Chain A
């Protein structure tokens, strides 16, 4: 069910053109059609696509595509460059007021993820900017919205200002700002109720809250899965209250997220953060280039490499390499490896970031079974210290005990032992090769094949 990425689409077109030897203007036009298809499937707004394709066509009509040996690749590059540029530079800066407190308003449609994002943002401000945030429960309409924010505040141990649902949101916000001043809290984040952009009464309410103390930031929270309507929403909110930035939520899903481009083009406001999960620290900086790749279905190699870099301990990697060479790799090391892989995030997320991952046969709907990893861990943890270092001693009796201890079967244990042996053999060969050539290799068995 996954959509084809732009690269694959263009490859199809290119095979048709290839036989002709030269790329004609008509061929470029044909390629532009594919660009349009890809963007429509990614939910970029039609009007935005029109302007965009026009711009790209002009560049592509230049000789660099026509004369290129790889016109398809050239077009992809132009499209990606233009997309990246359109989505703007990296901006995760937050404007803080010189006069305390800084006021941040969170606005958006129902179910966009405002309350969750409010919590995440507060956590981030405290951690990275050393702020003392106060959360304000100004959603008096949706049942239990106040409780939701209170629970989140409790999880994060960040104070929540709530006055139930009897006061008006404007009054609650006013009191909250006063309260923050009195208690010397430097950042007030107001969680407003979700509302339709066409609901004039509720939009007026936002204007009234805004009028209390000019907010330093007004963030529009937008669901990354939003379709063509994203431009209407963003435009209306911006016109009514003047947003200062956008936070794209639920990007941990498998949507292409073309809404990002639409919103950016229509409002000219930066996308500051992206929501990447339900945990309270899952708020990331927005990278235009990565978003461009994602919209085009080209995978997100950069994020993947970055994840590997931040999570793999350099020192440990060296030690491990030494162990490979001397064949002293044990089950303890194996466990450590598993941990490192796990730290990189859920496996299916990692897989999703790989270009063309959805094209590999049998992988398109790959469900990575995390519990399998848990089972392996259980088996290893059921071994004695001696068994872990010298697995050769594991006989039938020991296997039985390990299987019982880990809640698995003897077959499972056998399979793991065999895998471990194979891995050791492979590593020996690999490191043998490496030392001869003196090259350093990524030392994560199994995983390094992913990076090729």
Chain B
């Protein structure tokens, strides 16, 4: 059975699977609609595996923001694979394509999309550039962990942006967890110190720390983040146990530089790919995974409390194609209208 067929079945049948991934699917609705026909289109359009087919495939991936270097590498490998296996029919090449993509992503490792918890207090630090959805993600993550039976506390570490503390406060209320905060403009490292202290004394399981959005090329702000990191690890050895980088799915190639810089400063352990319910697919995470070895742990699929789901590479790869083809059509339609 081909890879795509397997995936297709996964989406179509199997009631159990259906239920467990209801949210994921809802978020990817625009991607999923008419997906089967889309893939068939690409296959139907090119009966043979030739240069034209590869070129179109290349474009589909580039339009998903996978990034030039990774796409070229993938294309080389595919060409080689196709030659080696002597694949001539496009219907057979599908499996090779997606297997390769998932392979690039997984790099032979087992999936690591879960939070690693410590024995006592687990500290999760949320970082990222401005406007990627850090605070919203924290709200959703807190909800998720609370549902798993953990006691959760939040730290309002964004003391800079107007309204940021209030925003986290609202999330805390919605989820029903405590928020440790100080006045706007106070030292974020001091907030963290306070938060870690009270998390320890109250014996909570998980402390999730919000930080202000910062562009990775602002040296002072990155130094501040380093200090925050230092303060936390001084108070709790081995902490923060998770440093999650929130990445906006609409971001292009700059995401790679973001991942690199934040990793250098805070030892990022995972990515949360936010806003995946739009039309952008954030394909750069493939490149980030293969170059920097940072896995995606969660995806944000909407604005509701339970719209944060564990990352599933197979479904994700599947979405890349549908969206790419979709985009192409829309754009063609757009330019034809003019």
Contact = CB atoms under 8 A, between A and B. Distances in A.
Given A46-B63, A148-B161, A258-B252, A37 B68 contact: yes
Contacts of B282: 227
Contacts, number: 173
- Contact residues of A: prevailing secondary structure: loop
B278 A3 contact: no
B260 A1 contact: yes
B162 A148 contact: yes
A141 B303 contact: yes
Contacts of B253: 3, 41-43, 227, 255-256
Interface string B19-53: 00000000000100000000000000000000000
Contacts of A196: 275, 277-278
A233 B330 CA distance: 12
Contacts of B281: 229
A144 B164 CA distance: 7
A325 to B, nearest CB: 36
B278 A41 contact: no
A369 B222 CA distance: 12
A2 interface: yes
B219 A226 contact: no
Contacts of A146: 163
B51 to A, nearest CB: 15
B62 interface: yes
A409 B226 CA distance: 24
B145 interface: no
A272 to B, nearest CB: 20
A113 B130 CA distance: 8
Interface size class of B (residues with CB under 8 A): 35 or more
Nearest to A227: B252
A91 B260 CA distance: 36
B131 interface: yes
A433 B283 CA distance: 57
A229 B251 CA distance: 8
A144 B280 CA distance: 26
B231 interface: no
A259 interface: yes
B68 A41 contact: yes
A253 B128 CA distance: 13
Interface string B306-338: 000000000000000000000100110011000
B68 A228 contact: no
Contact of A369 (B169, B219, B327): B219
Contact of B252 (A2, A197, A226, A371): A226
Interface stretch (A12-20, A104-112, A313-321, A410-418): A104-112
A301 interface: no
Contact of A227 (B130, B174, B251, B335): B251
Contacts of B219: 348, 367-370
A43 B252 contact: yes
A226 to B, nearest CB: 5
A110 B248 CA distance: 10
Nearest to B246: A111
Given A256-B254, A371-B220, 16 more contacts: A43-B253, A46-B63, A147-B167, A198-B30, A223-B248, A227-B65, A228-B64, A228-B252, A229-B250, A232-B327, A233-B278, A235-B330, A250-B129, A278-B130, A367-B219, A368-B219
13 contacts: A109-B278, A111-B248, A113-B131, A144-B167, A144-B170, A147-B163, A148-B164, A152-B162, A227-B250, A229-B280, A231-B331, A255-B253, A348-B219
Interface of B: 30, 59, 62-65, 67-68, 129-133, 136, 139, 160-164, 166-167, 169-171, 174, 184, 215-220, 248, 250-257, 260-261, 275, 277-282, 284, 303, 327, 330-331, 334-335
